[in-house]
Structure 1
Amino acid sequence: MAAPVLRRTVCPLDCWDACRIVATVSGDRVLRLDGDPTDPVARGKLCSRTYRYPERATSSERILHPMRRTTEGWKQASWDEAFEEIGGRLLDLRGRGRTASVLHVQSAGSMGILKELSHRFWNLYGGVTVAEGDFCLGAGKAALTRQLGDYRAHDWDDLVHARLVLLWGRDPFGSGPHRLRSLKAAKDAGARIVSINPLLLTRSSLLDETVRLRPGGDGWLALGMARVLLDRDLFAAGFLRHTDGFEAFSSAVRSVAWEDIAHGSGVGAGEIERLATAYAAADPAAIVLGTGPIRYRGGVEAASWITALPALTGYYGRSGGGLTYTVRHQRDTAVPRWVGAPGSGRRTVSAGVWATQIATLDPPIELLWVNGANPVAMLPDGDRIVRAMAGIACKVVVDFHWTDTARHADWVLPHPSFLEEEGLVTSWGHHGLAYQRAVVPVRGEARTDLEIFQGMAERLGFGPEMAGTPEEWSRRLAGERLIDAEWETLHRETGPPVSEGSAPLPSTPGAAVPSTPGTAVPATPETAGPAIERGRSGSDAPEGPPLRRVRSRVHESVPFVGGTFATPDARYRFPADLPDPSDLPCTSAEFPHLLLTPKSREHHLSQILDARQPMFLRGSMGTAVAAGLGRKESMVEIESAHGHLQAWLREDPELPENVVTLPPGGTVQRRSAVNLLIGPDTASDGITPAYFDCPVRVRVSSGAPAPLPGSHNGTASPAGGTSPNGDAS
C-alpha cells in the first residue's frame, strides 16, 4: 500500500455547512475523511454522514461506465455511443422545433457552482421544459421574498450578539450540526436558546426550553405572539415607517379569538404570552428558521407570519436580531442562464409536482434529463413519477449509484464522487466560498456534469460556448462575489491538485508537519460518533498558512440594515391573510396518527450504504398499544391514503400520542421509501410538497419487509438490483 498522504477539499453535498475536508489518501483510495482544523466551519470535525462517505465512493456498486437499457437488460456502452444516440435525439427534436419536449430536472445534489452551467447548455440548445423551484426550501423562500423582498441570512457568528435565540422548526443537532458552535457561543455570552418544535430535539443543556406546538401550528403561534406584542404595546412603533400594511395586519390579528389561536397553535395563551414577552424584552432576539414550519399546506403562510415578529420589534437590520433561514447562494452571481433570443422553447413546470403536470403539456415530453436529483425517491408518490417516466421515450440520468430514478432510465451516465471533482462551492447556510479539489483520480469512465455537457455541446454545434476548465468557469461564475486577489488566495491555498501529490504522512502521530499548503498532516485513528464527535486534536492541526474560506462580497453580515428591505419600495410587507384553519393537518379514526419525517443524523436522505438496513418508526406507548403491540420492538405496517411500507416500531415516550416519526430515506425499489406514504399536496407556492401533512395508521405486520426485485421492466441493475439510493451528481 502506498504511504498515506493528506489532501484538502470541500464537501459540496446538499447541506447548510459545506465543510472543508482533510482526506487521508493511499494511492487512489481515500482511507478516511476529517474536518479541516483550519476551516472556520468544520474546525476539525465532520458529520457522521461525511465520515462514512469513502465507503460510498469506493462501493462495488458504483456506476463506472455509460449504461444503456436494452431488451436483454442493462449493457455497458461507450461515451461515443451515448453522445451519438442521445445527441441524435436532441438534434431531431431541435430540427422539428420541439426543444420544449425535453424536460430537465435538477436539484441540489451538489452545491458546486459549476452545476449552474446546465442552464447555459439547455438555453444554448434552444430552451427546454424546466422543473423550476426548490421543493425543499421553496415555501420559506416564497414567504420571505413576498414579505422582505429576498431571503438573506446573518453571519453565523452574529448570534453571539443575541440575548435570545428561537430555533423555530430547526434541528441543528441533526442538520447543519456545525451551527451548534455558534449557538454555544451565544449561550456562553448570556443568550437563552429556545426550540419551537412539535418534537423534543434533545435533552442537551444547550437548550433552555422547548415550546412544543401542534404540527403545522407555527403560523398560529406567530399570530398569537404578534397579538401579545400589540396588546401589551411591546412593538417598536418607530420601526413601522420601514413597513407597509401595519394597520390591516393589526386589525386582522386582533380579530382572532384566543381560543382559536390556542387551538391552531396547540400552545396555551399563557405560554404564548410568556414567550412573546421574553422575545420583546431580549432586545435583540434572533430567529433561526428551519424547514419544519414550511412542510405543510400552510407552509408559506406560516413562514410569512413568523417574519412579522422581527418587524414588530424592530429587530431586522440589527446585529443579534433578524431572521435567518437560508442564503441566496447564487445572489449577484454572473450565471449565464439566458443566451438565446426571447421566444425560445423554454417553459416551466413545478419541481414538486412535474410528474402530474407533464401529462397535459403540448408538445409532450419526449426526452427526460435528470442530474443532481433522484426524484423517484425525493418527491412524494414515487410510483406516480415512475408511471410518468414510463411514458417518456428517452430518459437520461446522470449519477454515480443505482438510484431509484436511475433504475427507470434508458441511459445512465456515470458521474464522479465529490472526492474526484473540482470547482467552486457555495453554501445555502453561510456566506463562505471554498474550492473543491479532486483528492483521488476519477474511477472508471465517470465524467462530471460539465464534461458531459461539453461533450454533448460538441455534437449539437455549440461546443465553443461551453468550453472552459473548471477553474475558468468557477472564476467566471463567481462574478463580483470575489475580487481577483481573493480568487487567487482561495485557489492557491486550497492545495495542489491530486496529480501533484503531497508529502508523506509522518510515521509518528503529532510529528512535525511541512508548512506548504496541500502537504501532509499527521493522522491518528479515532472513533466516529453519531454527530460531529470525531476530529483531529489540536496537535494534529496543520501548520503554515490556513486554508481559506473566502467570504462573498455581495452578502451582508447583517441584512436589511437601517430597515431597508429588498422589496421595490424598500419596505417590509406585513402578511395580509390570516392562517387558514383548513390548512392544519388532521388525523381521523381511519388514520389516527400524523407522520413527521425529521432528518436522520446517520444518513443523508435516501443516501444510505445498506439498502437493507431496518427502518425505525418511533411512536409513543399509546401508538404501540393501539397497534396491538407490547413494549418490545415489533414489525409494523404503516399505511396512508397513498401507500404503505413496513418498519420496526420503537417506543419514544417523548412523542405525543398522535404523532409518529420516520426519517426520510429508503428506496422505492425496495418499497421502503418514506415518500411512498405522502400525497401530492403542496404548499401555496405550488412547489414545496406538504411532506408533514401525512395521516397514517399503524398495525401489526404480517411479516418482515421483502424487496421487490429488479426494475420496471423486470431487468435488474448490473449491480444485482441491491445498490442503495445514491448521491445525485
Structure 2
Amino acid sequence: MSEEKPTDRSTEAEAAFSPHTSHWGVFSARMRGGDLELRPFPGDPDPNGILWNFPGALRHPARIARPMIRKGWLENGPGPDDRRGCDDFVPVSWDKALDLLGAELARIRDGFGAQAIFGGSYGWASAGRFHHAQSQIHRFLNTACGGYVRSVGSYSAGASQILIPHVVGDHEGLTSRNVSWDQIAAHSEIVLAFGGMALKNAMVAGGSVSRHVERGAMRRAAERGCRFVLVGPLRSDLPDEAGAEWLSCIPGSDTALMLALVHTLVVEGLHDRAFLDSHTHGWPVFERYLLGGADGQPKSAEWAAGITGIAARNIVGLARRLHGRRALIVVSHSLQRARHGEQPVWMGMVLAAALGQIGLPGCGYGYGLGAIASYGRRCNAVPIPAFPQGRNGVSDFIPVARIADMLLSPGAPYRFNGETRTYPHVRLVYWAGGNPFHHHQDLNRLRRAFARLDTLVVHELAWTATARHADVVLPCTMTLEREDIGAASNDPLLVPMHPVVPPHGEARDDHAIFADLAQRLGAREAFTEGRSVRQWLEHLYEPTRAGLAAKGMSAPSFAEFWASEGILMPQQPDDGGYLRAFRDDPAANPLPTPTGRLQIWSDTIAGFGEPDCPGHPAWLGQPYATDDAAPLVLVANQPRTRLHSQLDFGGHSLASKHRGREVAAMNPADAAPRGISEGDIIRLFNDRGACLAGATLTDGVRPGVVQLATGAWYDPADPAGEKPLCVHGNPNVLTRDIGSSALAQGCTGQLTTIEVERFDAALPPIRAFDPPVPSSRRPGSGSVGRDG
C-alpha cells in the first residue's frame, strides 16, 4: 500500500523495526518506501495470519479522517430518529464537534442524571493497556459525568460467567489457572472436546500474546498417544495435528449426550462414587433425575441417540473409553451462546466429576480451553499495567447482551441472577472500542432500538455500521499510530508499543479526545491528573517494575524498558490452581460455593424458581425449533481471518471472501436439492432477515447445518427498509435477540434456524467499506460501490 513517510522521522529511523503488539500477536513494524512491513515475534512458534490485515487497513478509504455529525442531529438537535443508519454526515472541526458534544453531555447529565448515559464500549479495543478504550471512556464518564449505566458479563461467556460462581467457584480461575496446554501435552490420555478447540479462536487473546502454543501442544499430546474426540457439527473445530475422532452431533444436543455418558457410567458401575461423595453436593438428587426417577425418562444412550444423531452403541462405547483413563472434558464457549446455554457448562462439570479426575494434571474439567489464547497458560506473578477507571456513581447495570431490550423497553422488569431488575431509561449511548453491529443479535431490531435514543456517540477509526448509525463520530487512531504498553495477565512478555506512522487525517487518540471533552465539562484535571501520555505510561509501568524488584529480579527503569524489545515477567507455577488444591484437601481448600463443594445441585439456583434453569443440569429441549420455513441450523461462529469484525477491510480478511462476500459452508447433501453449487451466491433467510454469502460445499459440515462466520460488516442494500438484505454476509441479521435463560441472560447468537436458496438476481454492490456519501451521490448518481 502507498503511504507518505512520517514527517517526524529520519530515513534512518524509518528503516528500523519498532516493537508493537496486538490481540493476535506480538510483532515489529516499519514504514519503508511507503509500505508497512511486519515481522512476527521470532519467539512465536505459530504466528497468526491476522497480522497481515494491518498493511491494507492502515490507510484504507474506510478510515475516518475528521469529525462528522449526522445531518439530522445537527439540524434538528437530539432526539429519536429513524434516519440513523441512512442519513448524511457533515464534516466539522474538532472544536465544533467537542463543543456540541460537551453541551449534549451536560444537558443529559444535568437534566436526567448520569443514569441516563450508557457507557457501552463493549469490545476488544486495543492490546495496549493505556489506550484501552473501555478504560478511557469509563474513566471519562466517571470523572466528568458522575458515572454511567454499565454492562456486565460478555457476549463470549455470558451464561457461564453467571453460572460458574454458583456451581464451581471462580470463573477466571477455572478458565485461566486450571488445566494447561503443557499438562495436556504431558499427561492427558483422552480429551473429549464438546464444541472443539478451534485454533482460529485460540489465536487471539484478551491482551497481548507472544507465543501461540495450542497447535504444538495438541500435536505433542497426539504423538504421545493421547486421543482427541471432537463432538460438534463442524470437523474443523479441532486441528489436523490433534488427529481427532469426529462425533458429528446435532447442534445444541451436547447436554443430552453428556447425560447419556454419565447414565452409562452409573448403570455400569464405572462412576467414581468416592469422589462424588467427598467433593460434590447434590449427587443423589441428580442421580434420581438421571435414572428417570424424577420424570420417568432414564437419560440413557438410547434416549440420547434420537436427540444427538449419534448411535447409542457409540455413546456407550465412548463412556467406557473415558473410564479409567486420564480424561479431560472440555466445553467450549460456543455451547453456552445458545438458549439454555447454562446447561452444557454445568453438565460438563458433572461428567468430569463422575469420572473423578477434576484437579488432576491434564484431567478433569477444562471449560473454555482453546476459546482464546489467554486460557490454558500460566498467570504472571507481578501486576501488569492497568489504567484506573475511577468510581462509578451509578449503580445500575444491564447484562451486556440486553442492550436492545433496555432501549426498546425502558422501565420494563426483567430477571437476572435471581433478581427482578428494571431497565433504566437511557437517552445517550457513548461507544468507544466496540462494534455492536457485529456482536449483537437481530440487527434489524438493534437498528430500531438505536433509533429511540436522543444521541449516539461513537469513537471509531473506520466507518463501521455502528459509526454509520451514530450522531457524533469522532475519528480515533489505530494502534500503530500511538505509543502504549502491551501486556496480558497470562503472557510473560511486556511490550513497549512504539508508534510506526502518524495519525490518519485528523484522528486523535481516545485519551486526547476525552481530555479536551473533559475540559468542556470542568473535569480535565480530574481526568488527566496533569499527566501526558508518556507520563501515564511511566506511571502505569511502575507497579510492574516494583513487583519485579520485590522478587529480587531485574527491574529495568521505564527508559530501559522503552528502549528494549520487551521484558519477560515471572509467572506463577503450573499447579492446577484452586481445583487442584480442592481435590487434594477439600476441607482445607473449600471452593467458593455455598457448600464449599462442586454443586451438582444448587439450592440457590433452585430457589430462584426459573423454569429455564432448574436446580441441577437438565435436558430442556433443543435451543431452537426447525420448521418447513427454516429447516436448517445456522452455526454463526467466530472467523479465522480477523478478530470478530476488526479490520474486516484488511487484506487477510478480504482474501477469505468470495466475490467480496463472506463464505457460508454447507454439506453437499443440503446443497443438491436446492440447486446450489460450489461458488454460487446464496441467500440465507428467516423471519428476522436475510443476507447474501458465497457458498462452499464440504462434508466437514454436518447435513442439516450451515456455517457462516460472524464479523462481515453489516451492509444493508436498503438501509431505510424494514428488513434490509445484508449483501455482505453478516449472520446477525438472522440470529435471535433473546437471553440464554432468566438466570444469566447471556447471548444466544451461536445457533438459529434458516432456509437457503441460490441467489439468481443481479448482485447488489458491496458498500460496507465505502465512506458515507451525500444522498445526491448514492446509487444512480455515481456512488463507488463494488458489485463483487
**TM-score per shorter chain, which class?**
0.7 to 0.9
C-alpha distance 289-488 of structure 1, shift in aligned 2 (>3 A): farther
C-alpha distance 480-462 of structure 1, shift in aligned 2 (>3 A): farther
Structure 2 equivalent of residue 268 of structure 1: 311
Find the aligned partners of 1:687 and 1:384 in 2 and give their Cα distance.
17
CA deviation after TM superposition for structure 1 residue 477, in Å:
8.3
Select which of 318, 328, 340 maps to 1:298: 340
C-alpha distance 571-687 of structure 1, shift in aligned 2 (>3 A): same
| Partner-residue secondary structure (3-state), 2:234 | coil
2:233/2:705 contact within 8 Å kept: no
Higher mean displacement: 553-562 or 59-68:
553-562
Structure 2 equivalent of residue 221 of structure 1: 257
Find the aligned partners of 2:571 and 2:595 in 1 and give their Cα distance.
26
Find the aligned partners of 1:359 and 1:223 in 2 and give their Cα distance.
39
Select which of 68, 93, 108 maps to 1:78: 93
Structure 2 equivalent of residue 511 of structure 1: none
CA deviation after TM superposition for structure 1 residue 351, in Å:
1.8
Aligned-partner residue type, residue 668 of structure 2: M
CA deviation after TM superposition for structure 1 residue 374, in Å:
0.8
Select which of 279, 290, 295 maps to 1:242: 279
Aligned-partner residue type, residue 99 of structure 1: A
Structure 2 equivalent of residue 675 of structure 1: 732
Structure 1 equivalent of residue 140 of structure 2: 121
Select which of 385, 393, 401 maps to 1:352: 401
Find the aligned partners of 1:89 and 1:554 in 2 and give their Cα distance.
51
CA deviation after TM superposition for structure 1 residue 163, in Å:
2.0
| Structure 2 residue 38 is the aligned partner of structure 1 residue 33 | yes
Structure 1 equivalent of residue 25 of structure 2: 19
Select which of 600, 603, 614 maps to 1:574: 600
Select which of 12, 16, 19 maps to 1:5: 16
| Structure 2 residue 626 is the aligned partner of structure 1 residue 587 | yes
Aligned-partner residue type, residue 209 of structure 1: E
Structure 2 equivalent of residue 522 of structure 1: none
What are the within-5 Å matches in structure 2 for residues 431-580 of structure 1? 432=492, 434-443=494-503, 444-467=505-528, 468=531, 469=533, 470-472=536-538, 474-475=540-541, 488-489=555-556, 496=563, 517-518=564-565, 547-550=566-569, 558-563=577-582, 564=589, 565-575=591-601, 576-580=615-619
Find the aligned partners of 2:776 and 2:192 in 1 and give their Cα distance.
51
Select which of 180, 191, 207 maps to 1:155: 180
Find the aligned partners of 2:785 and 2:41 in 1 and give their Cα distance.
31
C-alpha distance 205-155 of structure 1, shift in aligned 2 (>3 A): closer
C-alpha distance 287-495 of structure 1, shift in aligned 2 (>3 A): farther
| Structure 2 residue 633 is the aligned partner of structure 1 residue 622 | no
Find the aligned partners of 2:660 and 2:557 in 1 and give their Cα distance.
40
1:148/1:573 contact within 8 Å kept: yes
Find the aligned partners of 1:479 and 1:246 in 2 and give their Cα distance.
48
C-alpha distance 425-303 of structure 1, shift in aligned 2 (>3 A): farther
C-alpha distance 581-282 of structure 1, shift in aligned 2 (>3 A): same
2:253/2:622 contact within 8 Å kept: no
Structure 2 equivalent of residue 658 of structure 1: 704
Aligned-partner residue type, residue 695 of structure 2: L
1:316/1:560 contact within 8 Å kept: yes
Select which of 701, 706, 717 maps to 2:764: 706
Structure 2 equivalent of residue 339 of structure 1: 391
CA deviation after TM superposition for structure 1 residue 348, in Å:
1.5
| Structure 2 residue 152 is the aligned partner of structure 1 residue 146 | no
| Structure 2 residue 475 is the aligned partner of structure 1 residue 414 | yes
What are the within-5 Å matches in structure 2 for residues 595-634 of structure 1? 595-607=634-646, 608-609=648-649, 610=654, 613-629=660-676, 631-634=677-680
CA deviation after TM superposition for structure 1 residue 305, in Å:
0.6
C-alpha distance 554-143 of structure 1, shift in aligned 2 (>3 A): farther
Structure 2 equivalent of residue 15 of structure 1: none
Aligned-partner residue type, residue 440 of structure 1: V
Find the aligned partners of 1:574 and 1:59 in 2 and give their Cα distance.
53
1:646/1:705 contact within 8 Å kept: no
C-alpha distance 206-137 of structure 1, shift in aligned 2 (>3 A): same
CA deviation after TM superposition for structure 1 residue 658, in Å:
1.1
CA deviation after TM superposition for structure 1 residue 134, in Å:
0.5
| Partner-residue secondary structure (3-state), 1:352 | helix
Aligned-partner residue type, residue 494 of structure 2: A
C-alpha distance 146-87 of structure 1, shift in aligned 2 (>3 A): same
What are the Cα deviations for residues 222-253 of structure 1, in whole angstroms up to 9, with x where unaligned?
Answer: 21222233233333344332322222122222
| Structure 2 residue 749 is the aligned partner of structure 1 residue 691 | yes
What are the Cα deviations for residues 474-509 of structure 1, in whole angstroms up to 9, with x where unaligned?
Answer: 44787998766779459677653xxxxxxxxxxxxx
Structure 1 equivalent of residue 80 of structure 2: none
| Structure 2 residue 371 is the aligned partner of structure 1 residue 314 | no
Find the aligned partners of 2:554 and 2:510 in 1 and give their Cα distance.
23
CA deviation after TM superposition for structure 1 residue 458, in Å:
3.0
1:170/1:292 contact within 8 Å kept: no
What are the Cα deviations for residues 409-436 of structure 1, in whole angstroms up to 9, with x where unaligned?
Answer: 11111222222344444558x4546335
Find the aligned partners of 1:489 and 1:682 in 2 and give their Cα distance.
48
Aligned-partner residue type, residue 181 of structure 2: W
Find the aligned partners of 1:464 and 1:552 in 2 and give their Cα distance.
37
| Partner-residue secondary structure (3-state), 2:457 | strand
What are the Cα deviations for residues 104-150 of structure 1, in whole angstroms up to 9, with x where unaligned?
Answer: 21223234444334333323322222233201222233333332112
Taking structure 1 as the reference length, the TM-score comes to: 0.81
| Partner-residue secondary structure (3-state), 1:633 | coil
1:381/1:676 contact within 8 Å kept: yes
Select which of 203, 222, 226 maps to 1:187: 222
1:490/1:550 contact within 8 Å kept: no
2:380/2:571 contact within 8 Å kept: no
Find the aligned partners of 2:526 and 2:260 in 1 and give their Cα distance.
55
CA deviation after TM superposition for structure 1 residue 102, in Å:
1.0
CA deviation after TM superposition for structure 1 residue 192, in Å:
1.8
Structure 2 equivalent of residue 391 of structure 1: 452
C-alpha distance 349-557 of structure 1, shift in aligned 2 (>3 A): same
C-alpha distance 236-473 of structure 1, shift in aligned 2 (>3 A): farther
Structure 2: runs of 5 or more not aligned: 6-10, 76-87, 204-211, 293-297, 412-423, 583-588, 602-614, 717-725
1:335/1:477 contact within 8 Å kept: no
1:432/1:552 contact within 8 Å kept: yes
CA deviation after TM superposition for structure 1 residue 552, in Å:
5.7
What are the within-5 Å matches in structure 2 for residues 368-379 of structure 1? 368-379=429-440
1:431/1:551 contact within 8 Å kept: no
Find the aligned partners of 1:582 and 1:595 in 2 and give their Cα distance.
17
| Partner-residue secondary structure (3-state), 1:54 | helix
| Partner-residue secondary structure (3-state), 1:165 | strand
What are the Cα deviations for residues 514-547 of structure 1, in whole angstroms up to 9, with x where unaligned?
Answer: xxx44xxxxxxxxxxxxxxxxxxxxxxxxxxxx4
Find the aligned partners of 1:571 and 1:476 in 2 and give their Cα distance.
39
| Partner-residue secondary structure (3-state), 1:96 | helix
Select which of 120, 131, 155 maps to 1:135: 155
CA deviation after TM superposition for structure 1 residue 686, in Å:
4.8
CA deviation after TM superposition for structure 1 residue 649, in Å:
2.5
| Partner-residue secondary structure (3-state), 2:621 | helix
What are the Cα deviations for residues 661-714 of structure 1, in whole angstroms up to 9, with x where unaligned?
Answer: 112132323413211111212312554332233111112323143148786995
Structure 1 equivalent of residue 606 of structure 2: none
What are the Cα deviations for residues 364-420 of structure 1, in whole angstroms up to 9, with x where unaligned?
Answer: 322111112111232112122222222222211111110000011111112222223
Find the aligned partners of 2:617 and 2:28 in 1 and give their Cα distance.
50
Aligned-partner residue type, residue 451 of structure 2: A
Aligned-partner residue type, residue 245 of structure 1: G
Taking structure 2 as the reference length, the TM-score comes to: 0.76
Find the aligned partners of 1:465 and 1:345 in 2 and give their Cα distance.
18
Structure 2 equivalent of residue 211 of structure 1: 247
Instruction: Quote the RMSD (CA, aligned, Å).
Output: 3.5
2:690/2:733 contact within 8 Å kept: yes
Find the aligned partners of 1:234 and 1:450 in 2 and give their Cα distance.
59
